[in-house]
Amino acid sequence: MKESWSAFDTFEPHFRPLVIIELAKDTKEETKEWLTQRIVDKKKKEGAQLLVKPLVKEDGGKIDGNQNLYLVGASHLRLLLGAETVGLVKECNDNSMRTFTYSSRNTFKDFAEDNHDFLTMAERQYIIKHELENLRAKDERMIPGYPQAKLYPGKSIMRRLMTSGILLQIFPLHDTEELKKLWYTWCGQVKISYQPLDEIRCYFGETIALYFGFLEYFTFALVPMALIGIPYYVFAWEDYDKYVMFASFNLLWSTVILEVWKRCCAIMTYRWGTLLMKRQFEEPRPGFHGVLGINPVTGKEEPVYSSIKRQIRIYLVSLPFVCLCLYFSLYVMMIYFELETWALDFHEENESYFSKLMLFLPSIIYAIVIEMMNRVYRYAAEFLTSWENHRLESSHQNHLILKVLVFNFLNCFASLFYIAFVLFDMKLLRQSLATLLITSQILNQFVEALLPYWLQKRHNKKVKKRVYSIKVDTDLSLFEQVNLEKEMGTYLGTFDDYLELFLQFGYVSLFSCVYPLAAVFAVLNNITEMYFDALKMCRVFKRPFSQPTANIGVWQLAFETMSVISVVTNCALIGLSPQVNALFPDSKTDLILIVVLAEHILLALKFVMAFVIPDKPRDIQIKLARLEFESLEALKQQQMKLAAESLKEETHGEKKMN
Amino acid sequence: MKESWSAFDTFEPHFRPLVIIELAKDTKEETKEWLTQRIVDKKKKEGAQLLVKPLVKEDGGKIDGNQNLYLVGASHLRLLLGAETVGLVKECNDNSMRTFTYSSRNTFKDFAEDNHDFLTMAERQYIIKHELENLRAKDERMIPGYPQAKLYPGKSIMRRLMTSGILLQIFPLHDTEELKKLWYTWCGQVKISYQPLDEIRCYFGETIALYFGFLEYFTFALVPMALIGIPYYVFAWEDYDKYVMFASFNLLWSTVILEVWKRCCAIMTYRWGTLLMKRQFEEPRPGFHGVLGINPVTGKEEPVYSSIKRQIRIYLVSLPFVCLCLYFSLYVMMIYFELETWALDFHEENESYFSKLMLFLPSIIYAIVIEMMNRVYRYAAEFLTSWENHRLESSHQNHLILKVLVFNFLNCFASLFYIAFVLFDMKLLRQSLATLLITSQILNQFVEALLPYWLQKRHNKKVKKRVYSIKVDTDLSLFEQVNLEKEMGTYLGTFDDYLELFLQFGYVSLFSCVYPLAAVFAVLNNITEMYFDALKMCRVFKRPFSQPTANIGVWQLAFETMSVISVVTNCALIGLSPQVNALFPDSKTDLILIVVLAEHILLALKFVMAFVIPDKPRDIQIKLARLEFESLEALKQQQMKLAAESLKEETHGEKKMN
């Protein structure tokens, strides 16, 4: 046993397991030894210099010969140096944010050599993940014991293990104490309050905290719309001018909130340090493949794949396929509408209990078909995006998000567009909108959080029973915890959560002038959504790795696009409304021209507003400028010193010559 | 005399004057001595460490006691160190572009200790300008001899001298040899060829070379439009489908050319090194004033001015004023149209020679009034922008450009819009468009280049006569050159040149479906424009200081906005055309809806295209990524070394303790 440990752990009294590595059950001993050795090896031997220890039930000795779970940790010093490597940004004593370096550690707030909480647990786990992923092959040509799992110098070992199926998963451990505390401040109190975003960030990292921040912000931003929308329902206002007012307010408001979000996001991520974090050089994603070649950027040997081939795949295969799917989805929608009229006719002809049931049939079939199409399409999109073979995880994600987004948009809103602009049936539109919005919200929360929570609880009980039955000593609580957590579902990222908000934003803004009450439902939904999402994060899923991020990325663009589209739809709806049509009894042309003019003015206003509102608040701008100025000054000082020296030398030399 | 020279110039056999400083005639000797001393002083004494020498006619001794022209130069070494300070980027031996540092000087292409042409003359002059502008007050409280010209530590001396009226101008000297060569390759040959952009950049710097690059690119980009436009004129095509074809092509083409320009621009500025140049910290512009306070970014004492006050001035004074001017301009236009109809009526009633003349009167009056309004407005805009008191030259320029742009746009195009969309007179529109385009082009070239050239030539003769009359010795050619050049006009930047192109782009694209021939005239104009602008730069104006720049800045946005507006106008024009109207005899509504739909599709296509076409070509992207990767690697290496050392120390220490 002893030799597989780092030389350090003996000096580190608090070896605290942070990350779990699970290998396949039948992994060869040879491979395990090699892997742990590589993880423990010193930096100068190109190891990760971390601490690693197999998870064992210590009833006097090992009882499980085929151990496949490893605890990974690191010494305090190693973590601090790792923080420097990943470029963490922390707060200094003078309240400014700076990139952490080990040599300047004493200028940072709350830093003390014995303060092991200087780095949050999420940060420590992120550092370990980063170090593990950057553990690279030296001169190994293959993974020991697995000749078919080829390696080449510089290839990430963990990624190869993962693609070869030897490594099942790497996940960070929950901290039960902290989690309990977080859960209490987050959802434990009944009083309505802000979410503890900073605590969420400390525990789950920036990406997830930013999602909850956005959810909270978005909910607050919807409140004015909801408040204005209520009287429309209460007093049953149907005047056209009131609807125009509401729609105009809504359209401009949506631009304002999206612009102001950028500012709020900058404030938060500045406080968290991620706004200042330098982008790291991105490694190829695990699934990326190609012939071995020279990377033009790094000059190192790695798989390369022609960008032209990828473009061809994107534009000649993926794009037509997506278009075909969109067309197919529209086709299915048309069939649904035909079925609907057919069912109505059937009901009118032979009115019976059966025919009444038949009325619901088309909707049920359509809902099922849509759900199936969504799932099939999702698989297809993932397959296609993988097949496009993007080198970077980020561009892979962006292409996947774009594909899924477009399809979901069409699936959700095509029927509403059809009702609005082909059938011209505003009553039906309002009704469908309400049904879709409310049912999708309820279903979502059930499928996404409550059902998994219930399954999880049942499962936990089983695992606990199994573990307790062989319970013997004190270390079991960790053993039990790891065994419980490794069976938990994996949180697949914020994609689905943002998608849900995106579609909700669509329901609220696309047809806002028809159904002002949508915002009210959205607000109500989001309040419960926060609790369910919190439940999901804390109780249902494995703890996800923290992921530093400075903004919500492609979603900002998606929401902005939606808000532009909603200008067009709302103007068209107002133009179609009978009240407005009644104002122009003689000339439809004038009406259309006025609507088009209004639309253009609104669009222009939106663009001007987006341009005029600065993306970062002034004080953040100043802080960023100060940091930039300081680094420029430092550079200049250095150059001036150098220059003075060079000039001195030269003068000296010349004088001697004279 | 000797003491006002640098200690270096004796060691520098090639003291080559690069920049001229002209002081006011009555500047006190005390001030002159102080200034030259400060320029010559060593860096460690906070001087600029340059070489300076008064310009004298050496006929045995000084004859002019009140000398006010100074030649400034620098040693080769000083210039190299200055190149590092300003962050010049040069080509290395391995063809990559890197920021020049003195210590790595031997890795750069064409570098040799005795190669004084390693830096182009424009670069040397830019370095000297930068060093002069960064010559800052130490403990002086005022300029010696001028107690009213206050100084504070860190205030740029040259800027204070300029605002106090002591310093009349600083300008770089022409290099007659080089200029002759440049002129020959540029305009000397009769054959049609590309412009020598790299040579222009070496002589005039990046901003001007980029303008000529854009002019050339834009002309080439217009050629397809012109070629397609010619048959419309030759065969007198009037079919609506052909016009629609032309307009659609035009609209998409304009997006393509603007996106491709970004790529061309990136290729050029990468070659020139400015794409990689780091933004320097911007000093306040000379005209900026405020109470002394602490700059929150630098932490230094300097004038500060509340951003809120500026916002108030912009939104409560400037914005209403601009709107008022726009309204006034529209009002004048309406009067013009009334006058026009009145003159027509008058001519019809009493047909005579006099009444025929009267027909031209409104146009002449309108042209004169517009020109006057333009000038008055320009002054007002400059005054208002100064009064807004922007801290940075760049934001001052942007606000000025925006104000002038909007007004010019309205002045040029309002009458055309009126004719098109109020009078619905397509014949008149085409006629006015042709008249406006052609006359403005001819007038511009005359006023902008030919007239000044003629004036300059006349003036030169006079000055030459005056100088020759006191001609005595060999140094006269420099003396004569400086005296000639200091009287030349100052080139006020590329603003007016870009504005001209912008308006031309408007004429070509806004109403392209009515007058396809516009592109032909634009191409013809631009070919002569190149020569006239070359003439202007080489013969009429003082040599301007080189200004490193990586793109055409706000103009890219202006051109893109114009291309969006032109989608709207062209769709509207097609919708108005009688041929299209004839296709929809029953329902105007359908027509308008189809036009609006087409417009939206075109706009969406433009946005998608702008999004899909990458702003930088792939090879430039790879080169930039490689540079970034290298700097990240260097940082990592450094950190790893540090980490290894720290860990070693710790282990060592711990082992000792055990």
Nearest to residue A49, comparing CAs of A111, A134, A119?
A134
Give the integer Cα–Cα distance in Å for B75 and B80: 9
Q: State pLDDT tens for residues A363-387.
A: 888 888 888 888 899 999 999 999 9
Quote the pLDDT of residue A6: 40
Give the integer Cα–Cα distance in Å for B459 and A413: 73
- Which comes out higher in pLDDT, residue A655 or A390? A390
Q: What percentage of chain B carries pLDDT values higher than 70? A: 90
Q: Chains A and B: how many Cβ contacts under 8 Å?
A: 111
Quote the pLDDT of residue A361: 83
Residue positions counted in chain A: 658
Residue A640: its chain B contacts at CB < 8 A?
Answer: 43, 85
Give the integer Cα–Cα distance in Å for A395 and A310: 12
Q: What average pLDDT does range B494-507 have in this prediction?
A: 91
Q: Please, which residues bridge with residue A91 across strands?
A: A97
For A571, the 3-state DSSP assignment is helix
| Nearest Cα residue in chain A from B281 | A629
Q: What average pLDDT does range A628-638 have in this prediction?
A: 73
Q: Cβ contact (<8 Å) for B297 and A629?
A: yes
Q: What average pLDDT does range B107-132 have in this prediction?
A: 88
Closest in B77, B589, B600 to A647, CB measured: B77
Q: Cβ contact (<8 Å) for B43 and A643?
A: yes
| Nearest Cα residue in chain A from B623 | A297
Q: What average pLDDT does range B441-447 have in this prediction?
A: 83
Chain B interface, best mutation among A81, A280, A422, by max B CB count within 10 A: A81
Residue A600: its chain B contacts at CB < 8 A?
Answer: 568
Residue A617: its chain B contacts at CB < 8 A?
Answer: none
Q: Cβ contact (<8 Å) for B626 and A568?
A: no
Q: How far is A347 from chain B (nearest CA, A)?
A: 36
Weakest mean pLDDT among A64-73, A192-201, B52-61, B328-337: B52-61
pTM for the model = 0.87
Q: Please, which residues bridge with residue A291 across strands?
A: A304
Q: Cβ contact (<8 Å) for A85 and B643?
A: yes
Quote the pLDDT of residue A601: 92
Reported as a pLDDT band with limits 50, 70 and 90, residue B260 is very high
State which of A164-178, B98-112, B293-307 shows the largest mean pLDDT.
Answer: A164-178
Q: State pLDDT tens for residues B289-301.
A: 888 888 888 887 7
Q: State pLDDT tens for residues A40-77.
A: 888 778 888 888 888 876 554 555 555 788 889 998 88
Nearest to residue A306, comparing CAs of A386, A390, A381?
A390
Reported as a pLDDT band with limits 50, 70 and 90, residue B374 is confident
Quote the pLDDT of residue A28: 87
Give the integer Cα–Cα distance in Å for B263 and A474: 66
ipTM over 0.95: no
Q: What average pLDDT does range A338-359 have in this prediction?
A: 85
Give the integer Cα–Cα distance in Å for A232 and A517: 8
Cβ–Cβ contact A11 with B under 8 A: yes
Quote the pLDDT of residue A211: 95
Reported as a pLDDT band with limits 50, 70 and 90, residue B220 is very high
Q: Is the pLDDT of residue B651 over 80?
A: no
Q: Cβ contact (<8 Å) for B299 and A626?
A: yes
Chain B interface, best mutation among A8, A9, A77, by max B CB count within 10 A: A77
Q: Are A247 and A512 in contact (CB under 8 A)?
A: yes
Residues 218-247 of chain B whose Cβ lies under 8 A from any Cβ of chain A: none
Quote the pLDDT of residue A459: 77
H or E stretch at B592: helix B588-612
Q: Is the pLDDT of residue B365 over 80?
A: yes
- Which comes out higher in pLDDT, residue A62 or B259? B259
Closest in A77, A593, A639 to B650, CB measured: A77
Give the integer Cα–Cα distance in Å for B586 and B606: 32
Chain A interface, best mutation among B6, B12, B41, B44, by max A CB count within 10 A: B44
Residue B101: its chain A contacts at CB < 8 A?
Answer: 639
Q: Cβ contact (<8 Å) for B651 and A84?
A: no
Q: Cβ contact (<8 Å) for A642 and B102?
A: yes
Residue for token pair 């806004």 = B510
Quote the pLDDT of residue A646: 64
- DSSP symbols for A241-269: HHHHHHHHHHHHHHHHHHHHHHHHHHHHH
Quote the pLDDT of residue A57: 65
Q: Which two tokens stand for residue A36?
A: 């742990």
Residues 27-66 of chain A whose Cβ lies under 8 A from any Cβ of chain B: 42-44, 49
Q: How far is A503 from chain B (nearest CA, A)?
A: 21
Quote the pLDDT of residue A261: 94
Quote the pLDDT of residue A638: 67
Q: Which two tokens stand for residue B463?
A: 């000055």
Chain B interface, best mutation among A636, A648, A656, by max B CB count within 10 A: A636
Q: Which two tokens stand for residue B487?
A: 């009287």
- Which comes out higher in pLDDT, residue B204 or B302? B204
Reported as a pLDDT band with limits 50, 70 and 90, residue B643 is low
Residues 571-630 of chain A whose Cβ lies under 8 A from any Cβ of chain B: 588-589, 592-593, 596, 600, 618, 622, 625-626, 628-629
Q: How far is B637 from chain A (nearest CA, A)?
A: 10
Reported as a pLDDT band with limits 50, 70 and 90, residue B445 is confident
First to last CA, chain B: 74
Nearest to residue B320, comparing CAs of B403, B256, B392?
B403
- Average of per-residue pLDDT values in chain A: 83
- DSSP symbols for A188-210: I--S-----HHHHHHHH-HHHHH
Q: Is the pLDDT of residue B506 over 80?
A: yes
Residues 393-432 of chain A whose Cβ lies under 8 A from any Cβ of chain B: none
Q: Is the pLDDT of residue B62 over 80?
A: no
Q: Cβ contact (<8 Å) for A85 and B600?
A: no
Q: How far is A606 from chain B (nearest CA, A)?
A: 14
Q: Cβ contact (<8 Å) for A626 and B43?
A: no
Quote the pLDDT of residue A100: 86
Q: What are phi and psi of B42, to 5 degrees?
A: -65, 160
Q: Cβ contact (<8 Å) for A297 and B596?
A: no
Closest in A42, A101, A593 to B592, CB measured: A593
Residue A629: its chain B contacts at CB < 8 A?
Answer: 281, 297-298
Provide the edge-to-edge strand list for the sheet that holds B19-23: B51-54, B69-73, B19-23, B167-172
Quote the pLDDT of residue B475: 44
Closest in A77, A592, A644 to B646, CB measured: A77
Closest in B42, B592, B632 to A589, CB measured: B592
Q: How far is A497 from chain B (nearest CA, A)?
A: 26
Residue A8: its chain B contacts at CB < 8 A?
Answer: 651
Quote the pLDDT of residue B382: 92
Q: Cβ contact (<8 Å) for B81 and A43?
A: no
Q: Are B150 and B140 in contact (CB under 8 A)?
A: no
Q: State pLDDT tens for residues A465-480.
A: 665 554 444 445 777 7
Q: Is the pLDDT of residue A206 over 50?
A: yes
Q: Is the pLDDT of residue B64 over 60?
A: no
Q: Is the pLDDT of residue A92 over 60?
A: yes
Residue positions counted in chain B: 658
Weakest mean pLDDT among A57-66, A346-355, B9-18, B491-500: A57-66
Q: Where are the beta strands (DSSP E) in B485-618?
A: none
Residue A636: its chain B contacts at CB < 8 A?
Answer: 85
Weakest mean pLDDT among A36-50, A72-86, A440-454, B608-622: A440-454
Weakest mean pLDDT among A61-65, B77-81, B110-114, B178-182: A61-65
**What's the sign of the alpha-carbon dihedral B403, B404, B408, B411?**
positive
Q: Please, which residues bridge with residue A293 across strands?
A: A302
Q: Cβ contact (<8 Å) for A296 and B626?
A: yes
For A97, the 3-state DSSP assignment is strand
Give the integer Cα–Cα distance in Å for B531 and B187: 6
Q: How far is A402 from chain B (nearest CA, A)?
A: 13
Q: State pLDDT tens for residues A381-392.
A: 999 999 999 988
Cβ–Cβ contact B100 with A under 8 A: no
Q: Is the pLDDT of residue B265 over 90?
A: yes
Quote the pLDDT of residue A658: 45
Chain A interface, best mutation among B8, B41, B84, B398, by max A CB count within 10 A: B84
Q: Is the pLDDT of residue B15 over 80?
A: no
Chain B interface, best mutation among A46, A84, A102, A424, by max B CB count within 10 A: A84
Residues 298-357 of chain B whose Cβ lies under 8 A from any Cβ of chain A: 298-299, 307
Residue B561: its chain A contacts at CB < 8 A?
Answer: none
Quote the pLDDT of residue A297: 82
Residues 244-283 of chain B whose Cβ lies under 8 A from any Cβ of chain A: 278, 280-281
Chain A interface, best mutation among B134, B281, B616, by max A CB count within 10 A: B281
**What's the sign of the alpha-carbon dihedral B520, B522, B528, B530?**
negative
Amino acid at A584: F
Q: Is the pLDDT of residue A609 over 60?
A: yes
Residue A291 DSSP one-character state: E
Quote the pLDDT of residue A652: 61
Give the integer Cα–Cα distance in Å for B513 and B508: 9
Q: Are strands A291-294 and A51-54 parallel, antiparallel or unpaired?
A: unpaired
**For residue B568, what are the contacts with CB-CB under 8 A and spacing of at least 6?**
A600, B599
Residue for token pair 């109470």 = B291
Q: Cβ contact (<8 Å) for A647 and B588?
A: no
